[in-house]
């Protein structure tokens, strides 16, 4: 275990599902803690390519933020520092060892750091054990997440999107790796899938199983679980009360207050129907109970 206060201390792991508000929280943490290095998506398998595609000061089209400047400041990218075992994987890490070796690149730096990832649901327990870091996990209404994923596919071209739909939704889950998360979750939980699942059903199952594991790990170590909806409905004020290893969340004035709820009754019934097919109603109820208690 790396002791708190060491040079290169990993202060906080900020985790969540894709398209769930992790980028917004990363920006808030970055703006609120100028004395720390706040790295965006350090676990991405194509991280080296992404950094090269985003020269210093480049605004990412999807998020509207400058995402990768910290890497340009902290690393000599000509040394292939992120060409490792993790860069040979797909969307989701295969083992914790891959993550640990990647994280070690950041804990060798001379400043404390925060790492934001959408991929560490099944490895938060090990990260806390090795680095004694604070944990934070954010969730968003899964129907809104799925809609956002579909918009991302459409940005690649309407013709391509319609072809995917004609293929019985079989390829709609490839973007943002929702099918990869589903496959990882099914393997970890040793579940047998029913026949004739749509991409949306696979997404919901992966979302429930992976987030249930992540929420339990975070709460077991006195971490913080938030919903994207709670942040928006409070205009960011819900972040003011957080105390996570000295990491501040006070620069959230850009968050626009909205009247939103996490899940309505129609959405709940749709999720319940999918979970019944898998025999995982208890998992769904545990997760939704945890989320409900946080609202």
Quote the crossing angle between the two packed helices 265-278 and 142-154, to the nearest 10°.
90
Question: So where are the chain's domains?
Answer: 10-144+223-258
Say how far apart CA 34 and CA 288 lie, in whole Å. 35
Banded model confidence at residue 161, pLDDT cuts 50, 70, 90: very low
- Any idea what the Cα angle at residue 46 is, between residues 88 and 90, rounded to 5°? 45
- Is residue 171's pLDDT more than 50? no
pTM (two decimals): 0.90
For residue 67, pLDDT over 50 is answered with yes
Q: What is the mean pLDDT of residues 225-234?
A: 95
Does pLDDT of 160 surpass 70?
A: no
* Sequential DSSP letters for 28-61: HHHHH-TTSEEEE-TT-TTHHHHHHHS-TTPBPT
Rounded distance between C-alpha atoms, residue 135 and residue 137, angstroms = 7
pLDDT of residue 295: 55
CB 137 within 8 Å of CB 21? no
């Amino acid at each position: 275990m790396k002791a708190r206060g060491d040079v290169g201390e990993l202060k906080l792991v900020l985790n969540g599902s894709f398209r769930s508000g992790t980028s917004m929280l990363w920006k808030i943490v970055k703006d609120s803690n100028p004395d720390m290095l706040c790295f965006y998506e350090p676990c991405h398998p194509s991280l080296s390519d992404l950094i090269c595609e985003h020269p210093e000061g480049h605004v990412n089209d999807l998020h509207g933020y400058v995402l990768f400047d910290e890497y340009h400041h902290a690393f000599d990218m000509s040394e292939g520092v992120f060409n490792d075992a993790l860069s040979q994987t797909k969307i989701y890490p295969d083992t914790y060892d891959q993550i640990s070796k990647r994280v070690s690149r950041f804990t060798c730096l001379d400043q404390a750091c925060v790492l934001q990832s959408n991929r560490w649901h099944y490895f938060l327990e090990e990260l806390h054990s090795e680095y004694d870091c604070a944990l934070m996990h954010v969730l968003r209404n899964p129907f809104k997440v799925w809609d956002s994923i579909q918009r991302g596919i459409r940005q690649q071209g309407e013709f391509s999107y319609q072809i995917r739909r004609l293929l019985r939704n079989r390829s709609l889950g490839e973007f943002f790796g929702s099918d990869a998360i589903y496959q990882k979750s099914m393997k970890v939980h040793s579940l047998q899938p029913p026949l004739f699942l749509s991409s949306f059903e696979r997404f919901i199952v992966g979302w429930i199983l992976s987030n249930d594991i992540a929420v339990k790990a975070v709460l077991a170590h006195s971490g913080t679980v938030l919903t994207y909806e709670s942040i928006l409905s409070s205009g960011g004020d819900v972040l003011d009360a957080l105390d996570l290893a000295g990491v501040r969340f006070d620069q959230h004035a850009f968050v626009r207050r909205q009247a939103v709820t996490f899940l309505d009754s129609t959405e709940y019934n749709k999720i319940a129907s999918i979970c019944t097919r898998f025999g995982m109603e208890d998992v769904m109820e545990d997760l939704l109970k945890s989320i409900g208690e946080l609202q």
